[in-house]
Structure formats: structure tokens, C-alpha cells
Amino acid sequence: MDEITYETFYAGAKPSDAAMALDRLLANENPDMTYSQMMRYRLAGKASNECTDIYFLASHLDTQVARLWHGWGKHPNAIGNFGNFRTAEAWQRRGIGRHLLNLWYENLQQHQADGPLALFCTSSKPHLVKLYGEYGFRPALAGSEGGPLYCPLQNSPATFQEFCQQYYAPDDRLVIRPASIGWRHEIDCLLNFALLDAGESFAFPEMPKLEAALLNPSAGLAELIFTSKNHCIGWAFTPSGGERMLQLHPSFRQQKIEEN
């Protein structure tokens, strides 16, 4: 039988059979990649005190055949991430992925009050850009027809550039404090894409992403910079035995940063 079962799984809940099947799959799917490690970390509920992580799963018997994920931090004005959309090759072209997208979209509508200001996605494949466009995603970068993609939610502006103007609005006080997983999307998505849109590079020579630093704390200290409105506008990384490096949104680079 080819019967498919579908499930919406909230990380932090008791693991379901489908969630455990996905964990087994991720364990052997690019196991050395930070992205796969972070998906397993979230799936296991290790970030659930700070993050909402929701997986949309399709299974056949005890085999995981398709999945999709979105998540955001449990704080006001959060930034969200969307993706990890996969369907096993043998199960493609059966409408399974479309069904997961519809489940995801219904779930997103249920989180209008406690959800993020926007969702971001890195995909630049033309067929996915077109598909995700049906659900509200549009190219983030000025003049681009591909990814990264931006999906405004709540009352967020239609364009990524207008969104950045609002999120990175001037503020007279900046403070730095230790990094945590709840703010990963503000850095690895929002700041990353804002710098890309400005023609700048993201990351440090010793550390490519905030999530990599959080998964490997022995590599050094990761910190975040906040405005008085608690908008996360930059990050810092101090490699073990090295000097602190800072990367802020351009609007704030001339300002003094207070130590928390």
C-alpha cells in the first residue's frame, strides 16, 4: 500500500514515530553539515525553551518520505526561517510536497498572534521560487528574481528593503550580551541578507554562521548586539585565544556598544 500519513510535529513534544524516523534520516544525511546538525538539535527539542520549531512530516509505514519546517524565536518581533523541504525521489510527483505546503500554510495562519514578523528562505532554484511565491514569498534582494526569499507577515512591509528600514531604525542605545539559539534567524537570515543586499559579505573568517558557533561552543564566544527595542542588529565572535570581532548592520557601526 502507498498510503501516506501526515503529521504536524512541534519540537519539544514527546517524539512521535514520524519525528523519530526523521531523526534517523537526518543522522545519515550530510551528518557533518551544520544545517543537518541544527535540524536534529531543534527536532530533539533542545531549543524549545527559546524557539518554536514546527515540522510537517509525511510518512509511509515507518519510513519518512517528505518534510518541511519553519521556526522562530519565542520573543516579540521575532524573525522566522522556512525550509528543509524534501521529498524522497521515489515519492516525488505524487502531490505529497504540495500537501505539506498546504499544511504549513494553514499552520502559519494559526500563528498570526505569536508568529514572526517575516519568514526567510535561502532557496534560489527557479521552480521553488515560483512554488513558494504562491504562498507569499518573494525575492529579498533588490533586482533579484531568485533567493534568498522574503515572506512578510503581520503588518510587515511588502519589500525587504522597507522591512530593513523599519527593523534597523535608528536607536540611541546598543548593548552586547551572550548569544543564544532563540536569535539565530535574526543573524543567519535577516542580517545575512541585509548585508548581501548592501553588497557586503556576512560572517567571520573563523566562524561562518551563528548557528555554527552555538553548536561548537569550544570554538569561541558568540555574542549579540541589541537596540533598546530589543532588535538584534549584529553579532560578535571571539575565537578561543583570539580577539573579539564585530559585525553590525551598517546603520549602527558608528555607535558605542555597552557591555551588559
* Lowest pLDDT segment from 93-97, 132-136, 149-153: 93-97
Domain 169-259 CATH class label: alpha beta
Q: What is the mean pLDDT of residues 35-49?
A: 93
Q: What is the mean pLDDT of residues 58-80?
A: 94
Give residue 238's pLDDT band: very low, low, confident or very high (50, 70, 90): very high
The pLDDT score that the predictor gives to residue 1 is 43
The CATH classification of domain 5-114, taken from the options 3.40.50.300, 3.40.630.30, 3.90.550.10, 3.90.79.10: 3.40.630.30
Report d(CA 247, CA 202) in Å as an integer.
8
Average model confidence (pLDDT) for the chain? 94
Beta bridge partners of 176: 225, 259
Q: What is the pTM of this model?
A: 0.95
Q: Where are the domains of the chain?
A: 5-114, 117-167, 169-259
Identify which of 104, 163, 111 has the alpha carbon closest to the alpha carbon of residue 134: 104
Percentage of residues of the chain with pLDDT beyond 90: 83
Report d(CA 139, CA 74) in Å as an integer.
26
Give residue 258's pLDDT band: very low, low, confident or very high (50, 70, 90): very high
Q: What is the mean pLDDT of residues 152-159?
A: 97
Comparing 5-114 with 169-259, is the CATH topology the same? yes
Give residue 105's pLDDT band: very low, low, confident or very high (50, 70, 90): very high
Residue-wise pLDDT for 114-128, tens only, equals: 999 999 999 888 999
